[in-house]
Amino acid sequence: MATLTYVYADSTAVVGPLATQAEPHSYDLCTKHAHRLTAPRGWEVVRFEGEFAPPPHSNDDLTALAEAVREAGRVDRPVDAVPTTGTGRRGHLRVLPGPAED
């Protein structure tokens, strides 16, 4: 994985190691596209020389997922009313109605 950053003022595209934070005008690329990237005519491409390392695994993402699953499975949590038609929202999750029961 790599990060592509456009520097419009210098007409330069920079392809470097995967960024750890989101930045304006930056896009993450797979290794294949990082090596094959071309820039518009008149632009310069500055490319990191070496191998792009895979992104480090983050325990934060895994922990957040585990906590969300744990919270959803709690039997003592209050249950919001789920609409019988349409969709409903619960925090950042969306509840979709299932098939009608006979």
Whether 23 is in a domain gets the answer yes
List of long-range contacts for 47-51, beta carbons under 8 Å, 24+ apart: 47/14, 47/15, 47/16, 48/2, 48/15, 48/16, 48/17
Per the structure, the count of domains in the chain is: 1
Res. 66 pLDDT band, cuts 50 70 90: confident
Whether 88 is in a domain gets the answer no
Whether 60 is in a domain gets the answer no
Residues 46, 22 contacting (CB under 8 angstroms) = no
Whether 40 is in a domain gets the answer yes
Tokens of 43: 């632009």
* Residue-level pLDDT at 25: 80
**pLDDT tens, position by position, 1-54:** 888 998 888 899 999 888 877 777 889 988 888 888 898 899 999 988 777 666
* Residue-level pLDDT at 24: 79
Whether 80 is in a domain gets the answer no
Whether 37 is in a domain gets the answer yes
Residues 39, 8 contacting (CB under 8 angstroms) = no
Residues spanned by the domain of 9: 2-47
Res. 78 pLDDT band, cuts 50 70 90: low
* Residue-level pLDDT at 48: 81
Residues 91, 71 contacting (CB under 8 angstroms) = no
Is residue 61's pLDDT more than 70? no
More confident residue, 83 or 66: 66
